[in-house]
Each structure stands twice: as C-alpha cells, then as structure tokens.
Amino acid sequence: MSKIKPAKGAPYARILGVGGYRPTRVVPNEVILETIDSSDEWIRSRSGIASRHWANAEETVTAMSVEASGKAIADAGIDPGQIGAVVVSTVSHFKQTPAVATEIADKIGAGRPAAFDISAGCAGFGYGLTLAKGMIVEGSAEYVLVIGVERLSDLTDLEDRATAFLFGDGAGAVVVGPSREPAIGPTVWGSEGDKSETIKQTVPWTDYRDGVVERFPAITQEGQAVFRWAVFEMAKVAQQALDAAGISPDDLDVFIPHQANMRIIDSMVKTLKLPEHVTVARDIETTGNTSAASIPLAMERLLATGKAKSGDTALVIGFGAGLVYAATVVTLP
C-alpha cells in the first residue's frame, strides 16, 4: 500500500479574472499593402482582418504580459502574492532560457511561484488552462496565472503574400483558482505531427546564425491545407468538448475560437449548428492572429463590451502549429 498522502486540492477550478493588453500602434491593411501585391478587399475577404496591433520597442513580451496580468489579477480580486504558478504560452520570446515566466512572476510581485513557458502555438492558452486546472485540483497551487503572449510581428515576413497580413501582437491573461462547482470542463486535446509542415518556422535559428540564410526566420503556412483541417477536423474536436462537458450547442452562451481566420470561424459556427443566441468572438477583425494570446484577448473584449457576461457558458478552442489543438467548455469570470 502506498504511503503517499492524497492531494488536498480544490474539488474544481474556474477562471476568476481576465486581462488583456493590445499594443498602442494600430496597423491597417494599407500598411501591409506597401510590401505585398494584394488589396484591402482581398485581405478582408480571405481573412476578415482590417487591422492589427504591432508592438513597439518598449512593448516587449514581458511588458505586455505584465500589463495583462495586472488586469487579470485585479479582476480576480486576489493579491499577486497568492499566485502559486505562472504558465506562459509563447513562440516569440527569443531567449531560450530562462523562461520568460520567471521574469514576469518577479515583475508582478508574485513572490516565488512555479514559473515556466510552454510552446503549443495557437493552442497554447488551452494547454495552459488545462495545466492550471490540474495544479489547483491536485493541490500544488491555489491560484495559477495563465498567459498567452506574442510579438508575431517579429516573425512575420512582410514580403510573403500568404502571411504578411495575418499576424498581430498582444497579451492575454487569466487567473485560475478554486471552485465549489465544475467551471472548466474536460479538455479535448492532441496533435497531428504528420501535418507539422503546414505551419512552421521557415528555418532553424542556427541557419540564420551560421549564415546559411540571410533572411531572419519567419512563420510560414500552407493556407488551404490549414483551412481545410481547421474547418473539418476542429469542428469535430469542438463537438467532442461539448459532449465531454455534457452540454449541447443550445446550452452555450458564447463561442470563443482561436482567432485565425474569419472564414474558419464562420464555417465552424455553421458546422456546429450553433443557435443564433450564441455570441461568437470575431476579434480577429481588428486584432489579427495573435496565436496563444487570441482566446484570452477575445474573452476580455467580449466581457468588457458587454457582449458576454459573468457566468456565461463558453466553448473555447485553439488550434495551430504542430498541428496541435485544445478545446474545453468554461464558465466566464
């Protein structure tokens, strides 16, 4: 018989607060058209994007995360010192070590929490949320700060007609804490590594360092392949998340998909047969694709504008490079 004592965590976990940060510089499509042969109409029709935010020199991954985290902590009504873990999802922090989570934890005054980064692309927020839930139920942390942050403008090839208009910068954060009732459903997550070439970094950092290539690495993707995969496969994953939570589309109040492409979002709504009363996040129009930051940023905007309210039941799903995905049903803070 094991001598290990059982965990003394909370019975359930929930999102207690959310915060976001969008860089001050707004970049309309007209700026993108200075370096690619396209049109505003083409960009809008293919992606739904009219503008995006790009960070300046001072709006670093750390700085944006600190701003978003401060808002989330205040929204949750806790003290930074109560945070037991900081989980940061990003692909655009260019120091391999130490984890940017440790620096963020220090700057927000969190004391000595566990702190680490994860790399799960556009599904990173869902991965982080799942880890946070596990820590709280297991008892290793009472409150967990989950951050999705990107400076994808640093990884954008402005001459690549297929991707130059897609990406934006920003940070979104949530505080996850104990709950007396289920408020974060089971996560349906996974990966399809056989399709990893469809979204990738153009070359390894070492190729740039060693002079094998002169152009700084960027993100590239096979647009049509990604579109087909997201529309057909991710709708199935979203339905599995609903089933795992024991609810139907009629029970939903809000749908917050990764903000990758407006056409993907609209197709998923149709495939899932979401009722008209369900509020759908379409933050991509003025934010672009911010990868790991897109879901918490969209969540924060829906709540701030009153399009969603505290206590609403929301389906969230992220998907991207890997190809990785994560979907779950949550109660909004």
**Residues labelled as active-site residues:** 122, 258, 289
What distance in Å separates the CA atoms of residue 231 and residue 271, rounded to the nearest whole number? 8
DSSP tag of 109: T
CA dist list (Å): 56 to 50, 52, 124, 151: 20, 13, 24, 10
Residues 255-277: b if buried by 16+ CB within 10 A, e if exposed: bbbbbbbbebbebbbeebebeee
Half-sphere exposure of 97 (CA within 13 A, CB side): 0
- The residue written with tokens 């109560």 in the block is 82
What distance in Å separates the CA atoms of residue 73 and residue 31, rounded to the nearest whole number? 35
What distance in Å separates the CA atoms of residue 51 and residue 288, rounded to the nearest whole number? 7
Can you read off the two tokens belonging to residue 69? 């985290």
Residue closest to 255 by CA, chosen among 150, 149, 174, 330: 330
Residues in Cβ contact with 24 at an 8 Å cutoff, skipping those fewer than 6 apart: 53, 56, 59
